[in-house]
Amino acid sequence: MNIGLITTLDTNIGDDFIRLGIQRVLRQAFPGAEPRWIMVNKHRPETVWPAWHPARRLPAWAPAWRRAARAWGGSRFHGCDLVVQCGAPVIWRHCARCEWNVPLWQEVVGALHRRIPVLNLAIGTAYPLSAVPDRIDDERDRAYLRAILGYCRLTTARDALARRLAAELGTEIPLIPCSAGLAFEVPETEAGGNLVLVNYMPKGGHYDFNRDIDEAAWDGVLAEVLSRLAPAFHVVFLCHDRREEALAGARFPQYERRRPDTPAAYAALARQAALGL
C-alpha cells in the first residue's frame, strides 16, 4: 500500500512527532498492509514530482509551461492509494500565499482527489491571541481553504478555532487531539526523574506576531523560575535546533543543553524528566 504524506522534513522535530503519530494510526487502520511512505516536504513542493520530471524545474511564473509539463508523466502521488497531509497550521492570515498552495494542492492534489482519497489530519490555526478571528476575511484565503476542504474525504482539527473557522466556511470537521501525542508507545515503566527540561525561545515562541514582547523581561522571568528549581532539580535546556542551542548557551551558560537529533532520542530524554517548561 502506497501512502503519500504531505509533511515537513528536516524542519522541526515537533513535525516529526506529528507524522509519527499519523503513521501509527494509519498502520492500525490498515493492518497487514505494510505501508510504503511517499513523503513530500511541503516547503519544497516541487519534490512531489520525480527527479527527472520537468515540472520540478519550471518556475511558478510559467503556468502554461507547467500545465504542459504535467502531461509528461505523473507525480509521485499518482501511484498512491491514499494521500494524507500530516497535521500543521493550515489556517492563518494570508495562508493562501503559502508556497505549497498552487504547486502541491491545486496542481497535484486537486487533480487526483476524485480517484485517490485525500485526508487532512490534525489541522491547526496560527493567530495572535489578541486578534483571534470569527471568520476568514481575505477572499483568497477563503477560496484556498474551501478548495482544500473540498479535496479531502476527511479533515480533523487539533484546535477549536480551526474547527469553528472551517464551519464558518461551510465544512463541519471533528475536533480530536493532535497526533503528536501518539508518536510513541507508552513505556511499560513509569517515567520521571530529577530532570527539568526547558525549551527556550526569545519572547517565548517561534513568532511574536509583532506584539513587541519585552525579551529582557521574559529572560528575567525564566531566570527567576530556574533559580528556584535548580537547587532541587537538574535543569537541562532542550533545544529544537542549533540556533536555540547557541542562544541558550549565550543567555543561560550555567545550565546543560541538549539537542536530540532524532525523535527516539528526544523521547528517551523526555522519559527521564519530572517536569517540562
The model's pLDDT over 48-87, given as tens digits with 9 standing for 90+, comes to 998 888 877 777 656 665 666 676 778 899 999 999 999 8
Closest alpha carbon to 9 in 54, 34, 44, 35: 44
What pLDDT was estimated at residue 55?
A: 77
Residue 191 has pLDDT above 70, yes or no: no
**What global pTM score does this model have?**
0.84
Q: Rounded to an integer, what distance in angstroms lies between the CA atom of residue 62 and that of residue 53?
A: 15
Instruction: Report d(CA 104, CA 70) in Å as an integer.
Output: 12
| Residue 192 pLDDT level (bands cut at 50, 70, 90) | low
> How confident is the model at residue 209, as a pLDDT?
66
Quote the pLDDT of residue 188.
65
pLDDT at 11 over 90: no
| pLDDT for 114 beyond 80 | yes
pLDDT of residue 204: 77
* Chain segment 207-258, per-residue pLDDT in tens: 666 667 788 899 999 999 999 999 999 999 999 888 999 999 999 999 999 9
Q: What is the pLDDT of residue 61?
A: 59
Please state, in angstroms and rounded to a whole number, the distance separating the CA atoms of residues 150 and 85: 14
pLDDT given at position 123? 95
Indicate if the pLDDT at residue 122 is higher than 80: yes
Residue 34: predicted pLDDT: 87
Helices 13-29, 263-270: axis angle to 10 degrees equals: 100
Which pLDDT score is estimated for 211?
67
User: Do residues 255 and 237 touch, judged by C-beta distance below 8 A?
Assistant: yes
Rounded to an integer, the average pLDDT of 102-119 is 94
Residues with Cβ within 8 Å of 17's Cβ and at least 6 positions away in sequence, in order, are 180, 183, 263
φ, ψ dihedrals at 132, nearest 5°: -75, 125
More confident residue, 185 or 106: 106
Using the predicted structure, report yes or no on whether residue 261 has a pLDDT greater than 90. Answer: no
Burial 235-267 (b: 16+ CB within 10 A, else e): bbbbbbeeebbebbeeebeebebebbeebeebb
Query: What was the pLDDT predicted at 88?
Result: 86
Q: What is the mean pLDDT of residues 124-142?
A: 92
pLDDT of res. 82: 96
Q: Which pLDDT score is estimated for 210?
A: 66
Averaged confidence pLDDT in the chain = 89
How far apart (Å, rounded) are the C-alpha atoms in residues 180 and 196? 21
Residue 119's CB is within 10 A of a number of other CB atoms, namely: 18
